[in-house]
């Protein structure tokens, strides 16, 4: 094994290697905003619903980009999925996140669910159930900053910031300015902090 290869591997496998830095995240979100505008004919009837906690921040950023490009204010809300999870019984009862719908609701809108990491797909399944109890959107789409694979349900994202091949033993951690004081996506190995 040459030094260059092992060096490259160290970079990939290093304990806290940032897969995306702040500017990368920003570029990905700008691209996703444009894709949403393309796919929805300029953002007509679009509602962005973030899944707490970091999905909500991402949804707000997407809405801000869309406002800059198109001059259109897209309604943003949050959708807590705790009560709809299928793994509630594996842990003590969790505190609830915040569900806040835009004033006009989601009926007949195109709802774009926004989450930070797409993994098993179970969160999205729960979000679809929660959404069904809140109204009847015309269509539901999914945006994720990182798609790390290993789906356990037939779910895919419409907009992806970065496809990140991972092993199941790895942990993908998303840091956002609003929550964590910095922007980064970090790949950790099990046992790392």
> Given the rule CB under 8 A, which residues bind another protein?
80, 83-84, 88-99, 129, 133-134
Report d(CA 113, CA 146) in Å as an integer. Answer: 14
Nearer residue to another protein within complex by CB, 94 or 182: 94
Token output for 86: 């299928």
Contacts of 51 (CB under 8 A, 6+ apart): 78, 79, 80, 81, 113, 114, 115, 123, 127
Nearer residue to another protein within complex by CB, 18 or 101: 101
Give backbone dihedrals phi and psi of 78, rounded to 5 degrees, phi first. Answer: -130, 150
CB of 77 to another protein, least distance (A): 12
Nearer residue to another protein within complex by CB, 26 or 53: 53
What angle do the packed helices 22-39 and 54-70 form, to 10 degrees? Answer: 60
CB of 100 to another protein, least distance (A): 9
Nearer residue to another protein within complex by CB, 75 or 97: 97
CB of 92 to another protein, least distance (A): 4
CB of 128 to another protein, least distance (A): 13
Using CA of residue 72, residue 61, residue 58, residue 161, what is the dihedral sign? Answer: positive
């Amino acid at each position: 094994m040459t030094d260059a290869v092992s060096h490259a591997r160290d970079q990939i496998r290093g304990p806290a290697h940032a897969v995306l830095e702040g500017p990368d995240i920003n570029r990905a979100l700008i691209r996703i905003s444009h894709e949403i505008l393309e796919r929805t004919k300029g953002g007509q009837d679009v509602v962005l619903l973030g899944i707490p906690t970091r999905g909500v921040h991402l949804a707000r950023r997407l809405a801000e980009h869309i406002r800059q490009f198109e001059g259109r204010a897209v309604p943003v809300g949050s959708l807590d999925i705790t009560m709809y999870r299928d793994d509630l019984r594996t842990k003590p009862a969790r505190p609830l996140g915040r569900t806040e719908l835009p004033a006009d609701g989601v009926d007949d809108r195109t709802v774009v669910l926004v989450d930070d990491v797409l993994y098993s797909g179970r969160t999205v399944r729960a979000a679809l159930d929660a959404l069904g109890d809140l109204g009847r959107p015309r269509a539901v789409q999914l945006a994720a900053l990182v798609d790390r694979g290993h789906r356990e349900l037939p779910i895919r994202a419409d907009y992806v910031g970065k496809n990140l091949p991972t092993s199941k033993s790895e942990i993908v951690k998303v840091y956002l300015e609003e929550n964590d004081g910095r922007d980064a996506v970090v790949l950790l190995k099990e046992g790392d902090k």
